[in-house]
Every structure is written in C-alpha cells, then in structure tokens.
Amino acid sequence: MSSPAYNRILLKLSGESLTGKNDFGIESSVLYRFAKEIKKVYDLKVQIGIVIGGGNIFRGLSQQAKKMDRVQADYMGMLATVINSLALQDALEKSGIETRVMTAIEIRDVAEPFIRRRALRHLEKGRVVIFAGGTGNPYFTTDTAAVLRAVEIEADVIIKGTRVDGVFDADPEKVRNAKLFNKISYIEVVNKGLKVMDSTAITLSMDNKLPIIVFNFDKEDNLMKLIQGESIGTKVQE
C-alpha cells in the first residue's frame, strides 16, 4: 500500500449527506458507511479533522427559518452540527477509531471546548477530531468553519465529500452535458459562481494557500485513493 500524499487533512461533510433516502434526520447506514471509508484512511496513519454541517436537521438560511431572527436561527443550526458530530463519533468509535468532538460553543457535558493546542495534541496522538458548532458565530457557514479549522490545525488540504464527481460548470444532476473541472483556481470559482463553498470560505482558503479537493464520497474507496495521491475529483488551488 503506497504512503499517503497528505499527512493531515480536514474532511468536510454536509449534514444533508446523512439523510440517505430520507428527507431529513440521520440514516445510521450512511454513518457506518462513512466510518468505514474514514477507517481506511485512519489506518494509513493520516491525521484527520472533520467538520460536518447540520442541514439535515436545521439550517439558519433554510425555508423553515425564513421568519425567524437570523442570529437565533444560526445558533440552532450550530447545535444541529453538534448532534451530527456526536452521531458520527459513535459510528467512528464503533469502528475502532479513537475520536474527540470539540465545539465552538461550550457544551462540556457532551464535548470538549475547542482549544487549538489541545486539538493539535489529539491529532498527534492519532485521534480523529470532529469540530462542531461552526465558528461559534452567526452569519458564518460550516464551509467557512471548515476552512478556519483547517488553517488552525495546519492541515495539508481540505477534502470536501459530495455526491458528484467534483466541480462542474453546471449542476450535473440537472444538466446532462455538464463539464467536470480537474483543476480550477479560487478566482475562477468565485467569478463563475460555482457552488464549491461560499465566497468567504474560498477567500480564506486563497489567502492561506490551502487547496480544496471536491470529490464523490459515495463511491467506495474514493477517499483512500485520493489520500494515496490518485487524481480524484477537482482540485481548487492557486
């Protein structure tokens, strides 16, 4: 088995990916499939941080939050990411992976508060660290939280798992002949309005020269192949 191309990664997952065939909530079979794929990379001694969204439970910008105060709705969304993080932690630990959940909002009975030096120590000891609660501030998405945490832990790359093969010039689930980009620059993503991450997250990645790889997490072994250096998905960089 070849040595990994990356030593420390930040894996970004959407909350919606946990719904499986349902419209909302958490599908346990999806959790265990994710855990199985992460375990393969974990066994390569790669240090792994994870940020997962909360859109399967509640999103501050969703239709259901339209009449709510934005700040209140965003805090509810942050709490939804904590629920998803705890669910993923359970699946990972049942797969034999030592895990810690760290939150931007203090909930000491269920998770550790985020402290950068402690997070680095967990990673160095071979623990997977799940960063929950977004940035701890309203008006910021979990995409931005993922980039922020990746920069703080000095990750080599952000890896964003989706259900399509990478970044396209149009929605491949709606446009049959949508073009897949193998590589694309940060500026092109912003100028073309491509839905990789929100503009704040892209700008933060660009400022810190942090590459983003968007790939299909639904395909078995894709994550491991990517970590081993195979050309999987789309790479966003300078």
Q: What is the mean pLDDT of residues 124-144?
A: 96
Q: Write down the pLDDT at residue 2.
A: 67
Q: Write down the pLDDT at residue 1.
A: 56
Q: Write down the pLDDT at residue 197.
A: 92
Q: What is the mean pLDDT of residues 177-197?
A: 92
Q: Write down the pLDDT at residue 120.
A: 98
Q: What confidence tens digit (pLDDT) does each residue in 8-65 have?
A: 999 999 999 999 888 889 999 999 999 999 999 999 999 999 999 998 888 777 777 7
3 has a pLDDT exceeding 90: no
99 has a pLDDT exceeding 90: yes
Q: Write down the pLDDT at residue 78.
A: 95
Q: What is the mean pLDDT of residues 225-232?
A: 93
> Which three-class secondary structure state does DSSP give residue 223?
helix
Work out the percent of the chain whose per-residue pLDDT is above 90: 84
In 65-162, which ranges are continuous DSSP H helix?
70-94, 116-124, 142-152
Task: Say how far apart CA 71 and CA 135 lie, in whole Å.
Answer: 13
Q: Write down the pLDDT at residue 170.
A: 87
Q: Where are the domains of the chain?
A: 8-237
Q: What confidence tens digit (pLDDT) does each residue in 142-166 have?
A: 999 999 999 999 999 999 999 899 9
Is 65:80 a contact under the CB 8 Å cutoff? no
Dihedrals phi, psi of 126, to nearest 5 degrees? 85, 20
Q: What is the mean pLDDT of residues 126-130?
A: 98
Q: Which residues of 15-36 are buried (b: 16+ CB within 10 A; e: fewer)?
A: bebbbeeeeeebeeebbebbbe
- The verdict on domain 8-237 having CATH code 3.40.50.2000 is no
Q: What is the mean pLDDT of residues 199-215?
A: 96
- Average pLDDT score over the chain: 93
Task: Say how far apart CA 135 and CA 146 lie, in whole Å.
Answer: 9
Residue reference for tokens 């446009």: 175
